[in-house]
Structure 1
Amino acid sequence: MAEVVVVGSGPNGLAAAVIAARAGLSVRVLEAQEQAGGGSRTAELTLPGFQHDICAGAHPMALASPFFRAFDLAAHGVELLTPTVSYAHPLDGGVAGLAWRNLESTVADLGHDGRAWRALFAPLVEHWPDVVELAMSDLRHPPLRVRTGLAFAIRLLEQASPLSDNRFRDDVAPAMISGVAAHAITSPRAFPAVGAALLLGTLAHAGGWVIPRGGSQAIPNAMIAEIERLGGEVRTGHRVDDFAELATARAVLFDTSPAELQRIAGDRLPSRYRDSLGRFRYGNAACKVDFALSGPVPWAAPGADLAGTLHLVGTRAQAMHAEHQVATGTFADRPYVLAIQPGVVDPTRAPEGQHTFYTYAHVPNGTDRDISDQVIDQVERFAPGFRDLILAKHVTPAAFMPAHNANYVGGDISAGAMTTRQTLFRPLARWNPYSTPIPGTYLCSSSTPPGPGVHGMPGLHAAHHLLRTRFGIVTHPLDLLRGAAPAYR
């Protein structure tokens, strides 16, 4: 048995495995699915030649995450393509808010709300590495960035309150913020959602929301190649059902939901801890609909055709209403739809002249309803004629999400409800959220801080703990990624 075993091959588990291998430890990754990568896989879901990202499609954190900055995806052969417009937010009437990579271009587009947009984001964009380090910390030991932290906190409090309505005069800018906030699949005014909006909104103007050439699979493939180069092993099609299989490893990391940890570890977990994990809440969910198209989406709003990502819901009020409906367990009349059109920068995703189109819509947890008709209606609302381009579609209702990723309980792609408490205390309230009562066993999934996203940081934080406590390695994981030799206490 390897010294370090990782259960699950999502970006967080692979991040921990890369770090352990860089520390000179023997590593084995066990993945239940036949394809490694977790939420960053790519497959032909509709027609031959159409490459679809199974879950994550655009990657604001691939350039910004401390893990990926140190790992250096480009040096490992991953080509990250940057759309001119990070995201677009169409409204009725053929207009759209455009988050250009260049902040001043967005300011110019927003007219008299442009100055307010600059005041909101410019201080964060100027110090974006500090913003990322704060947001991507373990939330127990945040770096001391007083000025940036204060600027972020002031904006968080404003945008999470009715005061946010006083900053802008028109509908476009507030709709743009609400569209990004709704990535959290909760009310766009909830603190975690606003935090996500400020972080992702900052990155839209500081590097952009990149799309990997060939598909998101390129990211885990690069990490797997590094693990194997260092002598590690990644086994796919290997489902772990009993912790006894892992017991001889010196350290075990679970890139899984708390529910999967409970299933595998069973009575090895003390009853009090097990009961606490059982109270971990899973949030609202996503219904994923992928399309093969005969041509580009005919957006009514100029500039929307340049965006890699689009938020299709309408005004801030309409976004709030849609998310409220889902939160109460009903289906939104006009659901929030997140769309990604990789073909704006990556022609390899589909046969020449044709396009892949990725969407997911927010739905109540656990539903098996196919809402692709509502998704098509919502796209058609902002792109008349879209329906005529559809060659094929592939639908994954929320209830079927766990079949390809057990972490998505009931279709919750955030691996846990994004409430304020569960953002600060994932998966439960303890000083070290990664350790478990089983010696040498750690949780490193998106169910731990700093939460969901393709950034690898839960894996980095968990690896930091296990290197020190199990192996006496005091070299920081980021230094190991940059080539430093492991030092022992």
Structure 2
Amino acid sequence: MTAARTDVDAIVVGSGPNGLAAAVTMARAGLSVRVYEKESHIGGGASTRELTLPGFLHDVCSAVHPMALASEFFRRFGLPERIGLAIPDISYGHPLPGGNAGIAWHDLERTVAGLGADGPAWRNLFTPLVEHSREVAELTGDQLLRIPAHPATLIRFGLRVLEQGSPLWNLRFSREVAPAMLTGVFAHSIRSLPSLATAGAGLTLATFAHSVGWPVPLGGSGSIIGALADDLVAHGGEIVTDSYIRSLDELPPARVVLLDVTPRALLRMAGEELPPGYRQMLRSFRYGNAVAKVDYALSDPVPWQNPELRSAGTVHVGGTRAEIARAENQVARGKHADDPYVLVSQPTLFDPSRAPEGRHVLWAYTHVPQNSGVDQQEHVTRQIERFAPGFRDTILAASSRTALDLENHDPNYVGGDIASGEVTMKQLLMRPVLSTDPWRTPLPGVYLCSSSTPPGPGVHGLCGWRAALSALRHEYGMTDGPDLSPGSKG
């Protein structure tokens, strides 16, 4: 364990993106900050490690980061000035039976051109959102109880969510490719389809695909964590590893405590110190279904049947809109899908340093019921092989983790729920409580800063940043957040 001082202004528990965003913000405000991390390495789900063979660097959880360039926190932090970000020309691809595929180019008009008769409908759906993508990011990255700063964009976005989140979702399209592409993005939310929550999250991600892009961090997701940790240390902060905090009583005195943990963990850590009503709201917080993950070391790139997919940063595997909806709805009913939806990325297409020369890493998720202990490696391999014949022959090694394995790695993934809380309309309003300041707990100086708070899941740092701003305002009377830009002293 790293040696630690006894005098500190702010303590952060958890060194994931949100915990470190909170720590950086507090340190930039001139406070002494200490971060406690239960593992021997930092980053949580945003770390990068050898999981299969020596020299093959895999992202432990997240690999592609649609929010990295859209996040207000990372814009202020100047993330692109600190690390390398590869932005693929093809944000995501979607294979379909028979060798056809939908291609979502970073360029909206190029995407439209490839969709034939449904191209104009795609343009009409996305042009108003792409032209106001920063406003979309602010709307979806903010606390929903606040008065929206961009009402016109909210109306445009809301109408599209109502359409694509309802049984009307096929009305604007006449072919199968465009609906399948949208469904592949909507399915990121691990919910039944269609639904308003999945449509809202999916349209946001799809908008970023045509605006800022879906970047792949060079060196892996751990490079984002490294940039945050470097900035924290440069401003006097410290990180204590191998330190699992199970109770608030284990922490030294500090004016502010920011917890990058779930409501379930907060209940355990604070116990009877919390008021009964608040405890009941935390107990009512629901966790969603889960993922099972497979990482592959490959001898060659994935041999997708459609050659355009071989340049895609992300591939959504599962077939038609109806097939993906069927698979996701099976999971929503507590079953393992017969033909699962699989989210795939091959970072070495854009960052060869992640594997030995000529070799590749492949990252894959599939969705499973909460608390699943069923290994999904064969299901994932078979589904990729369906659209990439010969894929099995490229596999040198694989590392497979069940939903329960993922929770064992990171307790914030309750039952394998990587969103740290079910993404529903109710829980977007009550995350975890109905409040204009949901990061602040009833305990003096204690704040919640995990993905269980607004705006929810994703590697964007916004939960931690907003929790820190709340703490600075309430505990120190600072109404303006500190300068986070590179080179600034805060």
TM-score, normalised relative to structure 1? 0.97
Would you say how many aligned residue pairs link Structure 1 and Structure 2? 484
**Conservation of the 8 A alpha-carbon contact between 1:292 and 1:357:** yes
1:276 to 277, 281, 296: 281
AA matched with 1:25: L
**Conservation of the 8 A alpha-carbon contact between 1:19 and 1:481:** no
AA matched with 2:427: Q
**Conservation of the 8 A alpha-carbon contact between 2:472 and 2:478:** yes
* Structure 1 partner of 2:162: 157
* Structure 1 partner of 2:140: 135
268-277 or 297-306, larger mean C-alpha shift = 268-277
Matches within 5 A, 1:193-342: 193-246=198-251, 248-342=253-347
Q: Deviations along 1:33-53, whole A, 9 cap, x unmatched?
A: 111112210000000000000
Instruction: Give the deviation of 1:245 after TM superposition.
Output: 2.6
Q: Please say if 1:123 is aligned against 2:123.
A: no
AA matched with 2:234: R
Q: Deviations along 1:262-311, whole A, 9 cap, x unmatched?
A: 12112222233222211211100000000001100000013101111111
Q: Please say if 1:38 is aligned against 2:44.
A: yes
Structure 2 distance, partners of 1:281, 1:143, is 26
Q: Deviations along 1:163-194, whole A, 9 cap, x unmatched?
A: 22111111110111111011000023211110
* Structure 2 partner of 1:173: 178
1:401 to 388, 402, 406: 406
Structure 2 distance, partners of 1:483, 1:149, is 35
Q: Please say if 1:66 is aligned against 2:72.
A: yes
1:50 to 31, 56, 65: 56
Look up the SS of the partner of 2:307 in the other structure. coil
Q: Structure 2: any 5+ residue segments left out of the alignment? A: 1-6
**Conservation of the 8 A alpha-carbon contact between 1:134 and 1:142:** no
Structure 1 distance, partners of 2:393, 2:238, is 46
AA matched with 2:368: V
Matches within 5 A, 1:334-353: 334-353=339-358
Structure 1 distance, partners of 2:220, 2:99, is 30
Instruction: Give the deviation of 1:242 after TM superposition.
Output: 2.1
Instruction: Give the deviation of 1:484 after TM superposition.
Output: 7.9
1:439 to 437, 444, 449: 444
* Structure 2 partner of 1:107: 112
AA matched with 1:262: L
AA matched with 2:452: S
AA matched with 2:358: G
Quickly say closer, same or farther: Cα 1:129–1:142, change in 2 above 3 A. Answer: farther
AA matched with 2:223: A
Q: Deviations along 1:367-397, whole A, 9 cap, x unmatched?
A: 1110111111100011000011111000110
Structure 2 distance, partners of 1:24, 1:15, is 15
Structure 1 distance, partners of 2:485, 2:12, is 18
Instruction: Give the deviation of 1:247 after TM superposition.
Output: 5.5
Look up the SS of the partner of 1:12 in the other structure. helix
**Conservation of the 8 A alpha-carbon contact between 1:83 and 1:344:** no
51-60 or 418-427, larger mean C-alpha shift = 418-427
Q: Deviations along 1:225-259, whole A, 9 cap, x unmatched?
A: 00000000011111112211335110001111111
AA matched with 1:253: L
Structure 1 distance, partners of 2:369, 2:223, is 31
Look up the SS of the partner of 1:15 in the other structure. helix
Q: Please say if 1:364 is aligned against 2:369.
A: yes
Instruction: Give the deviation of 1:201 after TM superposition.
Output: 0.3
153-162 or 269-278, larger mean C-alpha shift = 269-278
Structure 2 distance, partners of 1:36, 1:483, is 23
Structure 2 distance, partners of 1:132, 1:61, is 8
Q: Deviations along 1:99-125, whole A, 9 cap, x unmatched?
A: 101001100000110110000001111
Structure 2 distance, partners of 1:474, 1:421, is 29
AA matched with 1:62: A
AA matched with 2:55: G
Quickly say closer, same or farther: Cα 1:425–1:117, change in 2 above 3 A. Answer: same
Structure 2 distance, partners of 1:210, 1:261, is 33
467-476 or 358-367, larger mean C-alpha shift = 467-476
Instruction: Give the deviation of 1:142 after TM superposition.
Output: 4.7
Structure 1 distance, partners of 2:407, 2:241, is 17
Q: Identity of aligned pairs, percent?
A: 53
Structure 2 distance, partners of 1:308, 1:415, is 25
Q: Please say if 1:455 is aligned against 2:477.
A: no
Quickly say closer, same or farther: Cα 1:145–1:450, change in 2 above 3 A. Answer: same
Q: Please say if 1:86 is aligned against 2:109.
A: no
Q: Please say if 1:419 is aligned against 2:424.
A: yes
Look up the SS of the partner of 2:356 in the other structure. coil
Structure 1 distance, partners of 2:439, 2:488, is 24
233-242 or 86-95, larger mean C-alpha shift = 233-242
Instruction: Give the deviation of 1:429 after TM superposition.
Output: 2.2
Look up the SS of the partner of 2:98 in the other structure. coil
* Structure 2 partner of 1:192: 197
Instruction: Give the deviation of 1:343 after TM superposition.
Output: 1.5
TM-score, normalised relative to structure 2? 0.97
Structure 2 distance, partners of 1:484, 1:296, is 42
**Conservation of the 8 A alpha-carbon contact between 2:21 and 2:464:** yes
AA matched with 2:194: R
**Conservation of the 8 A alpha-carbon contact between 1:257 and 1:445:** yes
AA matched with 1:417: E
**Conservation of the 8 A alpha-carbon contact between 1:22 and 1:481:** no
Instruction: Give the deviation of 1:481 after TM superposition.
Output: 4.6
* Structure 2 partner of 1:29: 35
Structure 2 distance, partners of 1:463, 1:192, is 27
